[in-house]
Amino acid sequence: MIIYNVTINIDESVHDQWLTWMQETHIPEVMETGKFINARMAKVLVEEEMGGLTYSIQYTAENRETLNQYYTEDADRIRKEVSKLFGDKFVAFRTELAVISEHQAPKLNATEYLFTYGTLQQENIQLSVFSRALSGFNDSLFGYRLSNEKVAGAYPVIHSSGKPTDFVNGQVYLCTNTEILEADKYEGPAYKRIKVILNSGTSAWVYISNSAEPH
**Sign of CA pseudo-dihedral 181, 182, 187, 189:** positive
Do both 153 and 193 map to the same domain? yes
Whether the predicted pLDDT of 72 surpasses 90:
yes
pLDDT digits (tens, 9 = 90+) for 21-34: 999 999 999 999 99
State mean pLDDT over 91-97. 95
Q: Which CATH number belongs to the domain containing residue 67 in this structure?
A: 3.30.70.100
Contact between 96 and 1 under an 8 Å Cβ cutoff? The reply is no
**Sign of CA pseudo-dihedral 141, 144, 149, 150:** negative
Do both 202 and 166 map to the same domain? yes
Asked if residue 50 belongs to a domain, the reply is: yes
State mean pLDDT over 2-8. 96
The predicted pLDDT at position 214 comes to 47
Q: Which CATH number belongs to the domain containing residue 205 in this structure?
A: 3.10.490.10
Asked if residue 104 belongs to a domain, the reply is: no
* Residues of the domain holding 65: 2-98
Torsion from C-alpha of 206, 211, 213, 215, nearest 10 degrees: -150
Do both 146 and 188 map to the same domain? yes
pLDDT digits (tens, 9 = 90+) for 164-187: 999 999 999 999 999 999 999 999
The single-letter DSSP state of residue 134 is -
If one counts the domains in the chain, the total is 2
CB atoms within 10 A of CB 164: 8
pLDDT digits (tens, 9 = 90+) for 143-170: 999 998 888 888 999 999 989 999 999 9
Asked if residue 105 belongs to a domain, the reply is: no
Contact between 202 and 139 under an 8 Å Cβ cutoff? The reply is yes
Cα separation, 160 vs 196, in Å, equals 11
Of residues 11, 57, 21, 65, the one with CA closest to residue 38: 57
Q: Which of 98, 128, 157 is the last residue of a domain?
A: 98
Contact between 182 and 92 under an 8 Å Cβ cutoff? The reply is no
SS3 72: helix
95-121 burial code (b ≥16 CB/10 A, e <16): eeeeeeeeeeeeeeeeebbbbbbbebe
The predicted pLDDT at position 212 comes to 60
Do both 74 and 163 map to the same domain? no
Cα separation, 19 vs 97, in Å, equals 24
